[in-house]
Amino acid sequence: MRSDKLFQIVSHVILVILSLLAILPMILMLTSSFTDNDVLIANGYSYFPEKWSLYAYEYIFKTGNSVIRAYGISIVLTAVGTACALCITTLLAYAISKKELPGRGVITFLVVFSMLFNGGLVPTYMVYSSILNLKNTFWALLIPGLLMNGFNVMLMKSYFCSSIPDEILDAAYMDGAGEVRTFLSVVVPLSKPIMATIALFAGMGYWNDWMNGYIYITKRTELYSVQNLLNRMMQNIQFLSQSSSNVQNANVGLNAIPLASVRMAMATVGILPIIVIYPFVQKYFVKGITLGGVKG
């Protein structure tokens, strides 16, 4: 048993170190965002700044109309996207979980093949930009790639097949419930855990996505999500001052903008919703990965 005690102690030490490594970068971001800009320019980003300041946050909420709008876009996008993704994934997964459904094999093949082979960026971009003309619309953030993927469909299908006994479905059918009724009043209530997991995957995908906005939103920057704004800011330091609609500081030099700390404050604001929600949903996330890991 002595070896067990030693193992526990060593594990604690290593896991404390790894946990710290995991969050230290975020703590640096947080402390930097609260650092006085002059101190920051003199000393760099630091865990223990000499002088604290709320200026970066004041700056964001006073002058950064673009920040608040981007936040709104991200929230709407995540809410709408998650709801739509959950609906169409669940419905399709349910269909291919029906063993007697004529054409089930073909539909399943279409789903699986989409996971194995895809056209890649160039043809996909062509479809969304020149055939469907989604460029510079809200749809471009919502639709390409994120709405549904084969992996989630198969994950859900295997849940339906393994966790909802056929007897219950047959009984409902015998009692005269149609397919829709059976689905709504028997299947959905029994599938809450997997639906929570899929919603979580989808929600995280939407909140964190920067690629769609980066590729398809080229002109209408008012459609930028938080991630796109952050991305653009990193590329172009001057962006924030240009895109705010109240550009009183147009003739003030760049030096007047507390860039270094504002940038970190922006990133903090972008991370915040995840940090707030994460502890409550982590359980479902772990469950979902466990389910999914077993099945591919």
Site for other proteins in 56-95 (CB under 8 A): 87-89, 91-92, 94-95
Going residue by residue from 167 to 196, which x/- string records binding to other proteins, judged by CB under 8 A? -----------xxx--x-------------
How many H helices and E strands in the chain?
Answer: 16, 0
With binding defined as CB under 8 A, does residue 105 bind other proteins?
no
Contact 212, 147 (CB under 8 A): no
DSSP conformational letter for 93? H
Residues 6+ apart with CB under 8 A from 27: 47
Residue among 30 and 63 whose Cβ is closer to other proteins:
30
Cα–Cα distance between 65 and 232 in angstroms, integer? 15
**Closest Cα to residue 215, out of 274, 148, 147, 143?**
143
Q: Identify which range of 50-58, 59-67, 102-110, 164-172 contacts other proteins by CB under 8 A.
A: 102-110
Q: Identify which range of 52-60, 63-71, 129-137, 242-250 contacts other proteins by CB under 8 A.
A: 129-137
Contact 172, 39 (CB under 8 A): no
Going residue by residue from 218 to 247, which x/- string records binding to other proteins, judged by CB under 8 A? ---------x--xx--xx------------
Q: Which of 68, 171, 256, 274 binds other proteins (CB under 8 A)?
A: 274
Q: How far is the CB of 88 from other proteins (least distance, A)?
A: 4
Q: Which of residues 7-26 bind other proteins (CB under 8 A)?
A: 7-8, 11-12, 14-16, 18-19, 21-23, 25-26
Q: How far is the CB of 227 from other proteins (least distance, A)?
A: 5
Q: Which of residues 244-263 bind other proteins (CB under 8 A)?
A: 260, 263
Q: Which of 69, 144, 191, 198 binds other proteins (CB under 8 A)?
A: 144
Residue among 69 and 230 whose Cβ is closer to other proteins:
230
Could you give phi then psi for residue 82, rounded to 5 degrees? Answer: -65, -45
DSSP string, 116-137: H----HHHHHHIIIIIS--TTS
Q: Which of 67, 86, 96, 141 binds other proteins (CB under 8 A)?
A: 96
Instruction: Please state, in angstroms and as integers, the Cα–Cα distance from residue 289 to each residue in 96, 104, 147, 193, 286, following that order.
Output: 21, 26, 19, 12, 5
